Amino acid sequence: MDTIETIRYAGASLRGDSYPSERRGFGGRLVVVLGSLMRQIGRVLERRRGRLALLEMTDEQLKDIGVSRCDAHREGLRPFWD
């Protein structure tokens, strides 16, 4: 293995890859893309849960975190993709 290949392989292991992306087959790349998609969906759902939680908070709870009722309402009604 050349020095460049060794460095490239080491960089892949730091990212959590089992081997460099150029050596993956279609199935491996598909797994990476699907994993990325699932993480993105998870982030969108978590953001939506947080926004809905703002709508359920009392005025005292909102005051504790420094958010007005109007701001909480505006944030809570934003669409999930935003």
pLDDT tens string 3-23 = 565 565 555 555 555 555 556
- According to the model, what pLDDT value does residue 19 have? 52
pLDDT band at 57 (very low <50, low <70, confident <90, very high): very high
What value does the CA radius of gyration of the chain take, rounded to a whole number of Å? 21
What per-residue confidence (pLDDT) applies to 20? 55
Question: What average pLDDT does the structure give for the chain?
Answer: 82
Number of H helices, E strands in the chain: 4, 0
If you write DSSP's letter for every residue of 14-70 in order, what string do you get? HTT-SS-GGG--HHHHHHHHHHHHHHHHHHHHHHHHHHHHHHH--HHHHHHHT--HH
